[in-house]
Amino acid sequence: MTIEELRAEARAWIAAHRDVAVPAHGAHLPHDHVPGERDRRWLDAARDGGWVCLSWPERYGGRALSELEIIAVNEEFARAGVRRPDLGMGETLVAPALLAHGTPEQKDHFLPRVRSGEDVYCQGFSEPETGSDLARLRTRGTVEDGAVRVTGHKIWTSHGRAANMMFLLCRTDPDAPRHRGLSYVLLPLDGGGVDMRPIRQLTGGSGFCEEFLDGAVAPLFNVIGGVNGGWRVAMTTLGAERAGEITGQYFGYRREFDALLGRLRARDRLGDPDVRRALARAYVRVELMRHTGRRVADEMAAGRDVSALLAIDKINWSEYHCDFGSLALDAQGPAGLLRPPGDGYPVDEFQQVMLGSRGRRIARGTNQIQRDIIAGRVLGLPR
């Protein structure tokens, strides 16, 4: 099948399932979003139609699509204004690690459980004071009696309360060099020894959690890449995280921009030349995301390393989103500060961006770390 045929298939399927489709959100779905019945029906339809786990081998329920083919599918869903469902971190982050480093028995056991929705994962990489330097993590894993007993503290765990499994890194050899002696463990969260606490954020929601692990146990079968072989497995996961949405993310930022434009027009704010100039600058930055995404796709097609481009892109979208959040409130004038009515601490879509975007400078590797990557790999500067 050619890419154009794949695009046509995606368009036809979306058109046939409009009645259950979930409209696309803005640039980022809030971490405290709770899937409703329509979300579940849309996911079931996509699973039955073969639009989840696209890169997986067919024996595990995938379609064995290439990166460029997946980019094409994502673009068609985004152009249609609907969200392509996925199975969360199990599909997008754990599965690439399993497929690259898991044993046949591990793949046969874990991948079907992800695809069926039986296992839902959250990530246990970040720790207090060690989020940007993963090799410094302190969580310990003690191997005994055919299992790994994990003790430590994880933080900034996305979707933690919805998960029953955590993929984490722990130090199983404290005497080994920093990048060695780490193990990549799939830890059940319902087996005891896990105290999960929500973290309330500026937005009023609690989409992140922290976990205190006190002897939580996973069988050695759940160690991917072997004991003390976790670093290379983690790098596979991080590579999948950073490359996953680079061509389709433009559409979300463009939707947010168009929504703000519509609100400012309705409130008669477009006559202000300062507002128009700020909007023009924002529009240019959104278009730069689109072109960067296409450049990454072209580099992937040529088989070239795109890690430096991904670092550049990460800085661009995270800094832009902070600036856009400020613009969205400033351009509305005093009305932008008024919260909508409701119990608790309700915020509207642009207040959500303003408050939530600050953390994006940290997510997927801090911008300081990304600048260091650019300095070394692109500019050739000394350490």
To the nearest whole number, what is the mean pLDDT of the chain? 89
pLDDT of amino acid 358 = 86
Mean predicted confidence (pLDDT) in 147-152: 97
Architecture of the CATH domain 245-378: Up-down Bundle (1.20)
Say if residue 106's pLDDT is above 90.
yes
pLDDT of amino acid 116 = 94
Residue 23 is classified by DSSP as B
Dump strand ranges (E) for 52-146: 121-124, 140-144
pLDDT of amino acid 189 = 96
pLDDT of amino acid 132 = 66
Say if residue 27's pLDDT is above 70.
no
Per residue in 158-180, pLDDT (tens digit) is: 888 889 999 999 999 988 887 88
What's the number of CA atoms in the CB half-sphere (13 Å) around residue 36? 4
Q: What is the pTM of this model?
A: 0.83
Q: Report the C-alpha gap between 164 and 118 in whole angstroms.
A: 9
Tokens found for residue 380: 């050739």
Burial of residue 287 (number of CB atoms within 10 Å: 0-12, 13-18, 19+): middle
> Which has the closest alpha carbon to 32: 362, 297, 359, 378?
359
Contacts of 270 (CB under 8 A, 6+ apart): 261, 264, 276
Task: Note whether 359 and 206 are within 8 A (CB).
Answer: no
> Which has the closest alpha carbon to 120: 42, 58, 43, 212?
43
Q: What angle do CA 246, 313, 160 make, to 5 degrees?
A: 65
Looking at 210, 241, 245, 256, which residue is catalytic?
241
Q: Report the C-alpha gap between 35 and 162 in whole angstroms.
A: 10
pLDDT of amino acid 197 = 94
Instruction: Encode the chain in three state secondary structure.
Output: CCHHHHHHHHHHHHHHCCCCCCECCCCCCCCCCCCCHHHHHHHHHHHHHCCCCCCCCHHHCCCCCCHHHHHHHHHHHHHCCECCCCCHHHHHHHHHHHHHHCCHHHHHHHHHHHHHCCCCEEEECCCCCCCCCHHHCCCEEEEECCEEEEEEEEEEEECHHHCCEEEEEEECCCCCCCCCCEEEEEEECCCCCEEEEEECCCCCCCCEEEEEEEEEEEEHHHEECCCCCHHHHHHHHHHHHHHCCCCCHHHHHHHHHHHHHHHHHHCCCCCCHHHHHHHHHHHHHHHHHHHHHHHHHHHHHCCCCCHHHHHHHHHHHHHHHHHHHHHHHHHHHHHHHCCCCCCCCCCCHHHHHHHHHHHHHCCCCCHHHHHHHHHHHHCCCCC
Of 19-33, 58-72, 222-236, where does mean pLDDT reach its minimum? 19-33
pLDDT-derived band at 303 (thresholds 50, 70, 90) equals: confident
Say if residue 240's pLDDT is above 70.
no
Dump strand ranges (E) for 26-120: none
pLDDT-derived band at 100 (thresholds 50, 70, 90) equals: very high
CATH T-level fold of 108-229: Butyryl-CoA Dehydrogenase, subunit A; domain 2 (2.40.110)
pLDDT of amino acid 241 = 56
Domain boundaries, the chain: 3-86, 108-229, 245-378
The proportion of the chain whose per-residue pLDDT surpasses 70, expressed as a percent, equals: 95
Tokens found for residue 162: 């919805």
Contacts of 16 (CB under 8 A, 6+ apart): none
Say if residue 186's pLDDT is above 90.
yes
Parallel, antiparallel or unpaired: strands 165-171 and 121-124 = parallel
pLDDT-derived band at 377 (thresholds 50, 70, 90) equals: confident
Highest mean pLDDT, choosing among 12-16, 30-34, 344-348: 12-16
Asked about 58 being catalytic, the answer comes back as: no
Higher pLDDT, 79 or 108: 108
C-beta neighbour count of 50 within 10 angstroms: 14
Per residue in 278-296, pLDDT (tens digit) is: 999 999 999 998 888 888 8
